[in-house]
Structure 1
Amino acid sequence: MIVEGWAPQAKILRHSSIGAFVSHCGWSSMLEAMEFGVPVIAMPMHLDQPINAGLVVDLGIGMEVRRVNGKFSREDIAKIIREVVMEEGKEIQENVNKLRDKLIEKSDDEMNIVASRLVQLAQHFDN
């Protein structure tokens, strides 16, 4: 399916049929991919995107399509998609699931700390 214009990215990424996310590697997109446990096929353009793509590779949660003479080739894009979704996909999927679980755990822990501090603050002002 091709969607022109805005698409509900988070809704798409949380769908069970999504095998990977072809992304420019903007930070918000990377956070959503990690949140939903979706491997990334990195195709960075500029600014923070090449750094984020490197992080995807270093964390083992995806692969980067490399440019040749400043351009992406159809063959390289297809090759990386096959590798992520089929060949190396199992290991990458395990890595992204572990990272997702850590982020959820960390988020829950941090929210519990914030909630506890808010209760303390409210009690302080209540006295």
Structure 2
Amino acid sequence: MLFSASIFALSALAAMLIFYYRHRIASLIPSTSPLQAGYTRLTTFSSQAAAGLTSGNFDLEENNLQGDSRLGLDEAGVSEVHDIMQRQGVSFDEARLIRHKRILRDNGIDPSGMPMDAKAVTRL
């Protein structure tokens, strides 16, 4: 009987100590989980502005100062715009426009916004 009571008391004491020091214990455990193992952060407006991907019409500095939480262009978009700028020798705004027109064309939409599919119903 005394043995069972002492085991129970030690278990209760251990549980209370673990609960009391849970924040310290949690900080010692690595925070990587299997879901985060291959995670890498995307670029933000700050890093894109530092790379020169900004203009008067697309002012990343102003967006940063206003606390804009959007991530900006994705990695593929950044590299595509940068490649267009280098290959064609155009400004950032023109490169974004060229990329946007390519995306529209690839999705079957002409530059005016109308579908290029002849079977598409645009009026009722």
Per the TM superposition, whether the score is higher than 0.5 is no
Give the TM-score normalised by structure 1: 0.28
Give the TM-score normalised by structure 2: 0.28
Structure of higher CA gyration radius: 2
- The structure whose RCO (Cα within 8 Å, separation 6+) is larger is 1
Larger relative strand fraction: 1
Larger relative helix fraction: 1
